Amino acid sequence: MKPKSCSFCGYRSNETPILVEGPGVNICSHCALIAIRFMIDKTKAYPEMMEELKKELKELSDHLHHVGTEI
Ligand SMILES: [Zn+2]
């Protein structure tokens, strides 16, 4: 079977440790982090959205702390 690849950068599942699979699209850990950075930059202009994003990032940070990985 052909390895699945990231829909954004084209990395194949055997070249990246994490590939998140969605319906018809996949994203690798590298592109997911780029997407988060992009969202943070774009959301700066929208304070209400920024609050929501901050909450989600805080939850992510708490989750990472819970599984023993700090960012
Ligand atoms: Zn990628």
Q: Ligand 1 being an ion, which residues bring their Cβ within 5 A of it?
A: 6, 8-9, 11, 28, 31
Q: What is the mean pLDDT of each run of 10 residues along the chain (71 residues)?
A: 87 86 93 92 90 91 84 57
Residue (of 40, 12, 16) closest to 30 by Cα position:
16
pLDDT at 28: 93
Ligand 1 centre from 16 Cα, in Å?
8
Ligand 1 centre from 27 Cα, in Å?
5
